[in-house]
Every structure is written in structure tokens, then in C-alpha cells.
Structure 1
Amino acid sequence: MSPEKPSKPQRVVGPNYKWAVVAMFWCICFFNYADRQAIYAVFPALKTEFGFDAVQLGLIGSAFMWVYAFGSPFAGFIADRVSRKHLILGGCLFWSAITVMTGWCSKLWHFVTVRALEGVGETFYFPSAMSLMGDYHNRKTRSRAFSLHQSSVYAGTIGGGWLGAWFAEHHGWRWGFYLFGAAGMLLALVLYRFLHDRARGAAEREEAETLKAEKDRQPEQPQPAQAAVDETPPTVFETARIILRKPTVWLLLGGFMAANFVATIFLTWTPYFLVEKFHFRLTNAGLSGSVFIHLASAISVPFAGILADRWAARHPGGRMLVQATGLVCGIVFVGLVGLTNNVTLLLVAMACFGMCKGFYDSNVFASVYDVVEPRARASAAGLMNMVGWGGGALGPLAVGLATKYGRHADPVANMSEAIAFGSVVYLVGAVLLILAGLVFVKRDIVTRVARHEITTH
């Protein structure tokens, strides 16, 4: 066996620093989502000022997602090899500057270009952040940490949707982008002082050392082999083998694509849908279009994280089954949002859908990390983002096309049916996750002292 490369000396931090990392990532992720969501809140204003139709608005919505998706595997591969701190904070500086530039746009190609560039900046965040957070949190706390971080997605979505629409209605749509972009750049500069990188696999190493210490207190018991996590970056082919040889990963990828197809439709079209079908004012549409869904998700996601950690301790596929539960329960509410004509029922259905969405979102990356070893986790997150957002990017464009060319003469009726069709997509995703959690995960899961991580001394 070839000797391991020595780890770089690690900065000594306190036992609670792992939760400080979650808090710092929460703030960064808030702007990650506020910056991307603000554009959707001002679609009605862009339609009025520039005359964009539904297909053109769908193209603006999808431009970010396509670049974000197809850049993610490269971002993940890079994040498995270089400082994740620099990728996270450098990316925040870049995408925040692009957000400021969005306020300078005046033509369709301007909007498509800046949205694509924003995708370039943001594509580095999740692979790097999820990998680094996974090295601070082992399996006992990983779902809780990831679910707390996930709540920032909803806070950013609400903040971007509401404030973007509020500025559009009171001061002009451009000012929201100036505010979010400047604040994001300031945050990145401040956090350069406080955020520290960590050795890959450190959480698993600490967990194995704890288990060994417990065994040492019982000398009559056989002593386990010492776990030594391989920190050597895998080659491209090794990365592909580590990730893609496991059927569970393929099923999780399919489930993420299905869930994100529906999620991106709601992210992109809900404010427009509320204005056109239910005649909300722009600010109310921006707020209601995000707060009912995403506040409900923010409330449910911590509970889903706690539940997932408990289920995972009892069943290898526990995290995936929590996700599947969210999709199964969400099927009815997705259909109701699209088909109801009653405002009260609409808002109730949106809130219930949001709670179900939180159950799925709480374990997107925690589930895949159960079956992928630490040195390839950023690449796994990048692949998840590519498939999830690449497939998800088809959602906004599909709804735009259905709205313009659907079977009804009324575009709003066409949009209603297109949104309701998301319930079928949710059903497909639920089936894939159930298969992953009940059939394949037992053979694919990375054990606490995995075969490829053991060195017997």
C-alpha cells in the first residue's frame, strides 16, 4: 500500500466552530439565493418596460440554471483539489458583482448574459460548501447541519422575491440588484477573516477515533483497525468510479432532477402567476410567491433534519425515506396550486407544498454523502447540481412554452395546467427515492470504517 500524503497542519478551532461554519455559510447562501431570486420577482416589471413575452422571460430564467448546472461538475472536481474557502468566498465576490451589473441591463441579451455569468459564480458555492461542511459534521449531526443551512435558501428566496419586488414598485427594479450585490461583496470580504478550511475526511476520522477510544475502555473486546481517510485527490476516472458505480447515486440524481424541475417552476413563475391569474400587486406577488412556500419550508426543514439523523441511525436509507415522504405528500398540493381558482385554497396549498419541499431539501446532499467517500464529495455535489439544475432548467422554459402555445386560448389557463403537471413529476421522483432507500442503499453505503479507508497497523 502506498503511503498517504501528509496532511497540512490544521488551524486549531473550538468544539463549537463547526456550528459557526454553518452560520457563516447560512449568510453566504442567503445572498446566493436572494441574488438569483430577485430577477423572477421583477418579471412583470420587465414585461412592462421591455415587452418580453413568456418565452423570453423563461429564457432569462433558464440561462442561469443551464450554466449553473453544466459548470457544477467542473466546480466540484476543482473543489476536491483546491482550497474550498477561496472558491466559496471568491465565488461570492464574483456573483455579487454580476448582481450589481444586472441593474445596468436594457436588452434581452444583456439579461441572458448576466444570468449566465451569475451561474458561473454561484456554481462553485454548493460543491465547495457542502464538502467543507461535511468535513466539520459527521453522520451524527450532518442532516441537522445541512438542514439548518438549507433554511438560508428559503430566507434568501423570500428576501430576494420580496425586496426585489418592493424596490421595483417603489424605486425601480434596478435598485434591488444594487443592494444585494453590494451587501454580498461586503460579506465575502469580512468572512475571509473567519472561515477556515479543513482536511478532507476529518469528520469521519474523528468519528472513527471516538469509536476506537470507546473500544479501548473495554480491553476484553477485540480492537478495531485504525481508520485512515485517504486525502489523495482522485483522478477523473477514479472520481467517476467512486460516484457512478453506485446505483443509489443514480436514483438520487433522478429524484433531484424531478424535484428541481418542479421547484424551479415555482421559483421562476409564482410571482408572475399571482399577478396574471389572481391580480396581486407586484410587491404582494413577490412576497406571497415566496413567503408561503419558503417560510413553510424553513419551518419544516430543521425537523426533517432531526428526523433524518434519527432514521439514518436505525436504517441505512433513512435520509432518503425522509426525502421520499416529502415528495409523496407534496403531490396533491402541487396539483392544487396549479388548478385552484380560490385564493385561500391557493395559499394553503402553497404552504403545504413548502412544508413537503422542506422534507425533501433537508437531505439532498446528506443522502448522497452516505454513499460517497469524502475525497469525492465535492465532485458528487457538483454532479448532483448538474443533473438537478440541468433538468430543472427545463421547467421554467417548458411552462413558458406551454403558456404561449398550449391548448387553451387563455395563456393563464395554459400556465395553470403546466404548473399542475408538476405533481406527475413529483410522483416519479418519489418512486426513485423509495427504490434508493429500500433496495440499493444497504450495499452502497459508506460504513464508519469503510474498506477503502482502513489501514491495519
Structure 2
Amino acid sequence: MSTAPTMSQKSSSGAPDRPHGGGGRAWTVTALLVVFMMVNFADKSVLGLAADEIRADLHLSATQFGLANSAFFLLFSLSAVVVGLVADRVSPRLLLLAMAVLWSVAQAPAAFGGGLAVLITSRVVLGAAEGPAFPVAQQATLAWFPNHRRNLPGALITLGVTLGVIVSAPGLSWVIQHHGWRAALWVLAGAGLVWALAWKAFGADGRHGAGAGQTRAIPGDGAPTAVPSAVPYRRIFATRTWIGATLAYFTSYWSVALMLVWLPSYLRNALGHPAHTAALLVVVPWAIGAVALLAQAGITGRLMRRGVSSRRARGWVGGWLLAVGAACLLAQTLVDGSDGKTVLVALGFGLGGSYATVAATTVAEIAPAGRSGGSLGAMNAVVTAAGLAAPAVVGALVDAQGNNGYHLAVTFSGVLLVIGAAASFLLIDPARDIVRLSR
């Protein structure tokens, strides 16, 4: 499938857009948004890193701790949809700035003190502020690049997710062990404010809409087609591509949620690793995910430059990531010993949790400029429902089954990834759905 510019657009300043995209300003904005996602996922991971300390301090069962983490996602999905729709009409630059400031403010109540109620309230507010982060950051980044150049910047934004945990986990673990878990919240609040100042100084909106200024060749006759900007959202959501990308991403995000909330405890309690070892091991699946993201972006970009369809370049490549991740998670049931299980779980979660870029760039490809924010936001809302369910489900399993509950949770994640891989292979076909949406 090929893309070609058919019209020039104008930026908010009135300057005509260039067809190739990129440039120094584009990469500066991309770098800032990578850091934005790093702060975002450091915020998400801190309770998991401090799980045992928080449970001991607040006298929480595993179920209660799981519910406190699930509370983070209570308004997460709703805000992703609402702000995603707003992002089609309001400057993403302003929305991102507001989000970063709110993150810092939301950390303060639990950082000051209080019990379970304060912690839950703080996490609900933080979740509402962070819900739209990924889709708006993707939209803001992809708006600087035409479709055929989006795989790398899209992957870099997702890489910010993994880097956020890789970079922050050792430092936050040290703060938690030496100064308490509330001190870690103050560190994160400060990081959010520093990013907001940098974004205010250097952030900017891009010139490329997700589907604007581009045509696609209709399979068979090569004639160009474009999705009308006024196509109803319900038609986009009814496409097999949107459904397939969303379902596959949901199963991937389930693994991400378990890594964020329960992986440190799993390593310490179920696999018997000491606390300082677990603090280092917890970054391994995220590091594997970072390599997988960059590899996927490189493979996908090369395939698309050679004219391979997005169905194969995105859907099939993403499907293999989930399939191999599933195989590793299911194989850990056949292995005895903590070392073997640790390796397989790290590979399974690392590969299985690396689908976000595939999902975002695939949906951005079929959505026209005026519908990209809402389409990505709605996908994110469905997907992050996994974050609402997974922590609570695993907490209940641990209370009911003890350490065996952790192993059951890993196996269930493998089963979900099998379903996600099938959806990616069988349902995603942007070229087909672009033609249907254009009619």
C-alpha cells in the first residue's frame, strides 16, 4: 500500500505544510513526549514497587491492595474518551500541559499522609488525569509525520512507557526502602512539574492530521481514495481493523497492568527473589519490551517502504509479538525452578506487552484527521479497562490461592495473549477498511 500527498495543509500559524514531515522541531517534540510517557508510567508503577511496604503500612490484604490499584483506572477510560474527542478540536499542546500539572497535584494528598481512602481518592484523580495521556501523546507526535514515517516516532512514544519503568524502578525502589513510599510520590510530583515547564517552553502542535493530506491506493485498480473527515465514529468503531487492534491491545495491556502492579510482589513472594534482586529484575521485561518495540518499528517500516500492506506489516508483525509472548507465559507452567520461570515470564510479558505502537499506528491509519483523537481515545478506553480488572482479579487470586495465585494469573495472561494474536492476524486490514469507510 502506498501513500502520497494530495493537498497541503496549514499549521495553526497559517504556514503551509510540507509533504515530507519530520525535521528538528518534530524530533524535539517527540523527545519531550517520550519523557512525558516516562513520567506517566513511573506514576503508574510506584505502587507496585512499594506493594509490600504499602500493604504493611496500611494493613491491607492482597484484594484491598488490588482494588486500590484498580481505582486508578476507575475514570481512566472515561477521561480517555472525553479528552480524545476534545483533542480533535482543542490544541493537544494545551491538553498535554494541563495533564502534566494535574498529575503532580494528584500525587500530593497521598504524599502528605492518610490511609486507604486517601490513597484511593488520589489514585482515582491521577487516573482521570493520565487516562488520555497515551492517545493524545500519540496523536500529537504522529501529527508531525506523514503515514509512511510514523512507525519510528510512534514506537518511541511507546518506548517511553518501558523507559519510564526501566529508569525509575531502581531509583524509586531506593527511595521507598530508605525514605518511605510517600517520599517516592513527592519525587514523581516534582518530575511532572519539571516536564510541564519544559513543554510550555518547547512544545508545539504538528501539521499532519492522522488521515489528512494523504490518499491510499484502492487494491485492485490503484485509484486513490481518502476517508471523509466527517465519517461517523460508529463506522470507524465497526471496522474489523479497529475491533481487531483494540482486542489485541486489550490482551497486551492486561499483561502491562500485571507488570505494573504485581510483578515486584510475584518476584519476591512467589519466586523467592530478595527485595534488592527483585528491584533489578522488575526492569528486565520492560527492557525486552523496549527492544521488541524498536525491532517492530524497524521491521514494519521496512516492509511498508517495500510496498507490503499494513495488514502484514502491522497486523501480522504485531500478531507474532503476542503469539511468542503467549507461548513463553504458557511454557512457564512446564518449568520447575524460579530461574527458568523468571526468564520465561520476563520474555512473555516483555513481548506480550509491546503491542501499543501497532494498535495506535493502525487506528491512526484508518481514521481521518477530524476523527483521530476520538478513535484513539475510544480504543484506549476499551483497552485500559484491562487495568481496572487485572489488579483486582490477581489480588483476589492471591488471597484465595496464596502464591499459586500469582502463577494462575501468569497463565491466564498467556491465554489472553493467544486470543489477542488471533485478532491481530485475522481482523486487521487497514486497506480494506479504508475503502469501506471512503464510500
Matches of 1:12 and 1:179, distance apart in 2: 42
Structure 2 residue runs of 5 or longer lacking an equivalent are 1-8, 218-222
**Deviation string for 1:72-93 (max 9, x for gaps)?**
1111011111111010111011
Would you say the 8 A contact 1:293–1:354 is kept in 2? Answer: yes
Aligned mate of 1:154, from 127, 146, 162: 162
- Aligned equivalents of 1:74, 1:413: Cα separation in 2: 39
* Residue 271 of structure 1: aligned partner: 264
Q: How far apart, in 2, do the equivalents of 1:266 and 1:6 lie?
A: 42
Alignment of 1:306 with 2:295, yes or no, is no
Aligned residues: percent identity? 22
- Equivalences for residues 238-317 of structure 1 within 5 A: 239-289=232-282, 291-312=283-304, 313-317=307-311
Higher mean C-alpha displacement, 327-336 vs 292-301: 327-336
Bigger shift: residues 272-281 or 377-386: 272-281
From 28, 46, 50, give the equivalent of 1:42.
Answer: 50
Q: Please report how far the alpha carbon of residue 414 of structure 1 lies from its aligned counterpart in structure 2 after TM superposition.
A: 2.3
Aligned residue among 381, 385, 403 for 1:412: 403
Q: Residues 48 and 243 from structure 1, CA distance in 2 versus in 1: closer, same or farther, beyond 3 angstroms?
A: same
- Residue 177 of structure 1 is matched in structure 2 by 185
Alignment of 1:125-136 (within 5 A): 125-136=133-144
2:328 is matched by which residue type in structure 1? F
TM-aligned CA distance change 1:23 to 1:329, over 3 Å = same
Counterpart contact for 1:30–1:155, Cα < 8 Å: yes
Rate the CA distance shift 1:314–1:431 in 2: closer, same or farther, 3 A: same
Where 1:193 maps in the other structure, the secondary structure is helix
1:354-433 alignment, distance < 5 Å: 354-357=349-352, 359-406=354-401, 411-433=402-424
Assess if the C-alpha contact under 8 Å between 1:368 and 1:380 holds in 2. Answer: yes
1:250 CA displacement: 1.3
Matches within 5 A, 1:86-165: 86-165=94-173
Distance 1:352 1:328, change over 3 A: same
Over residues 393-428 of structure 1, what are the superposed CA-to-partner deviations in whole Å (9 max), with x where a residue is unaligned? 21111111122224xxxx001221222221111111
Post-superposition offset of 1:340: 4.7
- The offset of 1:188, in angstroms, is 0.7
Are the equivalent residues in 2 in contact too, given 1:335–1:420 (CA < 8 A)? yes
Secondary structure at 1:136 match in 2: coil
TM-score (norm 2): 0.87
Q: Amino acid of the residue matched to residue 296 of structure 1? A: I
Whether the 8 Å CA contact 1:243–1:380 is kept in 2: the answer is yes
Instruction: Return the TM-score normalized by structure 1.
Output: 0.84
Three-state SS of the structure 1 residue aligned to 2:148 is: coil
Contact 2:155-2:357 at 8 Å conserved across structures: yes
Separation in structure 2 between the aligned mates of residue 256 and residue 303 of structure 1, nearest angstrom? 18
For this pair of structures, how many residues does the alignment match? 419
Structure 1 unaligned segments of length 5 or more: list them.
212-223, 453-457
Q: What's the Cα RMSD here?
A: 2.8
Q: Deviations over 1:145-165 (max 9, x none)?
A: 111121110111223433332
